[in-house]
Amino acid sequence: MSKSPIAFLGLGIMGSGMARRLLGAGFPVTVYNRNCDKAAPLAAAGARIAASPREAAAGAKVVIAMVADDAASRGLWLGEQGALAGAARGTVLVESSTLTVGWVKELAAAAAAGGFEFLDAPVTGSKMQAAAGELNFLVGGEAATLEKIRPVLVPMSRSIVHLGPTGSGALIKLINNFVCGVQVASLAEALAMIEQGGLDRTKALEILTQGAPGSPLFKTISTRMTTPDFTPNFLLRLMAKDLGYAVKEGAGLAVPLTTAAAALEVFKKAIAAGQGDQDMSAVVEQFRHR
């Protein structure tokens, strides 16, 4: 697997950085993106551009997908032009998107029926980490399959953690993202209280960022909110999607995610205000413009 042909499907904020890391490590990479304009910079870096997921998967030893949601993932993998139709038996399929556990298990079953190996391997980190090869892979599936493709994941990663059977990576990713979404929503409200309460914003935020609430995310997002800089690192609408998926997953496990549901409403209001394609830190603006 050290220099096996790779197909990479999805060249958004995350996928483009990940594919570029594979090219930099010397892998032959074929890329596919629904909007072909996003593939042009990868072609300039040495990637081959495919016209469909099926074409991209043909001849690949590993196929990696990184797209927005269940619907986009389903469209890449299944159907006449899907990657499953083009890949050879024995190919390792890696789904790195943030998806529902139900769809991941359905996809794994389809992969097994076609004679493929499958891993769900979503990541933590955003645009900067993808570009720098510092993502954390959260992997569900067979440990032996992970070891087989570890050399492919290493150039994109800071860590690779095997969580357990298929769906384990998908589940912990939804848990991770709902906790992040709740924290971002609460920071937006806290910052509004600081600003509208007449406090010295710099001093007040220093108390929070240097105190118990001061996670790495809290520090990064507070900087973006106060600059303000809403250049997309993690799209606001995708955090809303992740919160929605997490709420449904929690309900299926008899764990009502009341904090996630509340945060989801905050993000929905930001989307309604036209901020869905901005960075998730833009969720603060609804509290500033009342």
Count of C-beta atoms within a 10 Å radius of residue 15:
24
Catalytic residue among 148, 173, 241, 268: 173
Is residue 1 scored above 70 in pLDDT? Answer: no
> Are 279 and 231 within 8 A, CB to CB?
yes
Q: What percent of the chain lies above the pLDDT cut of 90?
A: 97
Which structure tokens are listed for 222? Answer: 């507070």
Residues of the chain with CATH 3.40.50.720: 6-166
Mean per-residue pLDDT, 50-63: 98
Report CA-CA distances (Å) from 289 to 58, 120, 282, 283, 286: 51, 41, 12, 11, 6
For 288, phi then psi, to 5°, come to -95, -25
Mean per-residue pLDDT, 133-138: 98
Mean per-residue pLDDT, 211-234: 96
Q: What is the three-class DSSP state of 99?
A: coil
State residue 289's pLDDT score: 66
Residue listed under structure tokens 């690192």: 233
What is the per-residue pLDDT across 157-195, written as a single tens digit (0 to 9) for each? 999 999 999 999 999 999 999 999 999 999 999 999 999
State residue 2's pLDDT score: 72
| Cα–Cα dist 240/247, whole Å | 11
Residues of the chain with CATH 1.10.1040.10: 177-288
Let me know if 173 is a catalytic residue: yes
Task: Flag whether the pTM goes above 0.85.
Answer: yes
| Cα–Cα dist 36/273, whole Å | 29
Q: What angle do CA 164, 166, 172 make, to 5 degrees?
A: 65
Quick one: 278 exposed, middle or buried, by C-beta within 10 A (0-12, 13-18, 19+)?
Answer: buried
Distance of CA 32 to the CA centre of its chain: 17
Which structure tokens are listed for 224? Answer: 């973006």
Which structure tokens are listed for 76? Answer: 């890449």
Selection from 138, 132, 130 nearest residue 159 by Cα? 138
Q: At what angle do helices 258-272 and 236-252 cross, to 10 degrees?
A: 150
Mean per-residue pLDDT over the chain, rounded: 97
What is the third-level CATH fold of 177-288? N-(1-d-carboxylethyl)-l-norvaline Dehydrogenase; domain 2 (1.10.1040)
Which amino acid would we find at residue 51? A
State residue 290's pLDDT score: 56
> Are 191 and 222 within 8 A, CB to CB?
yes
Q: Domain 6-166, CATH 3.40.190.80 — does that match?
A: no
Which structure tokens are listed for 284? Answer: 């603060």
